[in-house]
């Protein structure tokens, strides 16, 4: 009721087709009111595609607020599985908890994982372009997104991605092209995908190059600005 009331006589921008479909099928909006602009865009002048820096073990980062909904628990469990398999990798959480969010990971949980030697916790980082450049693989096992800016930044930085086949995430990653999609809440599949790309550096780097090409064609800030101004103009 409130959505219908608030959205009457408005134009609404959605970032992914899944959310748009929910609103139009529920008749909360008329089709003519709904516009799809995929993402908030990424600044291609800030994030540059650079070759991987040789490093052993390789760095796999999860750049996000440390929430259960971002797939942090699955990432940690995948790290355990990889360690049990003898796969060498540094699994790194890049971000802080959010005390005001009910799905936030507690600082004590994070410290326990670090003490256990499963993951590293780097906290919030200002210079994310440098973090992406230092990484070898970017991972976001999120349950649902609009379109995650972190994945756009990772792709713009020329990094292959492992993420979930979830709304928003699959807008950025095309399975087998610029990364791998895995089922939600599935640490085993997540570990398998990470291991596949760790063991195939050439494939990983080719995916990173394709990711850069995709964001240049579809997700640059300039494209999003132009599409948004067009909606305002209408």
What percent of the chain lies above the pLDDT cut of 90?
A: 96
112, pLDDT greater than 90: yes
Q: What is the pLDDT of residues 179-209, one digit of tens each?
A: 999 999 999 999 999 999 999 999 999 999 9
| Angle, alpha carbons 80-51-42 (nearest 5°) | 85
Q: Which pLDDT value is given to residue 55? A: 82
Measured CA to CA, the distance from residue 31 to residue 169 in angstroms comes to 24
Taking each helix axis from N to C end, the angle separating 201-218 and 187-198, rounded to the nearest 10 degrees, works out to 100
Tell me the pLDDT band of 54, cut-offs 50, 70 and 90: confident
Q: Which of 153, 172, 208, 133 is nearest to 43 (CA)?
A: 153
Q: Which residues pair with 146 in a beta bridge?
A: none
174, pLDDT greater than 90: yes
87, pLDDT greater than 90: yes
Q: Which of 137, 181, 182, 141 is nearest to 157 (CA)?
A: 137
Mean pLDDT computed over every residue of the chain: 97
Which positions ≥6 away from 135 have C-beta within 8 Å?
59, 60, 61, 92, 154, 159
Measured CA to CA, the distance from residue 12 to residue 20 in angstroms comes to 9
* pTM of full prediction above 0.85: yes
Q: What is the pLDDT of residues 121-145, one digit of tens each?
A: 999 999 999 999 999 999 999 999 9
Q: Which pLDDT value is given to residue 234? A: 86
Q: Which pLDDT value is given to residue 35? A: 97
């Amino acid at each position: 009721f409130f959505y219908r009331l608030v959205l009457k006589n408005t134009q609404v921008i959605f970032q992914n087709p899944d959310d748009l479909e929910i609103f139009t099928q529920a008749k909360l909006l008329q089709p003519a009111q709904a516009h799809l602009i995929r993402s908030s865009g990424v600044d291609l002048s800030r994030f540059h595609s650079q070759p991987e820096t040789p490093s052993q073990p390789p760095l796999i980062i999860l750049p996000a607020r440390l929430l259960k909904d971002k797939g942090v628990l699955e990432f940690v469990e995948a790290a355990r599985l990889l360690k049990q398999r003898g796969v060498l990798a540094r699994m790194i959480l890049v971000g802080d908890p959010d005390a005001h969010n009910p799905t936030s990971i507690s600082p004590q949980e994070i410290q326990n994982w670090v003490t256990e030697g499963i993951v590293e916790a780097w906290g919030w980082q200002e210079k994310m372009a440098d973090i992406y450049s230092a990484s070898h693989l970017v991972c976001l096992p999120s349950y649902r997104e609009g379109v995650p800016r972190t994945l756009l930044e990772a792709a713009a930085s020329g990094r292959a991605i492992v993420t979930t086949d979830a709304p928003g995430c699959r807008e950025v990653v095309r399975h087998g092209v610029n990364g791998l999609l895995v089922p939600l809440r599935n640490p085993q599949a997540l570990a398998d995908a990470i291991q596949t790309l760790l063991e195939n550096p050439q494939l990983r780097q080719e995916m990173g190059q394709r990711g850069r090409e995709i964001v240049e064609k579809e997700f640059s800030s300039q494209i999003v600005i132009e599409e948004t101004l067009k909606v305002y103009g209408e």
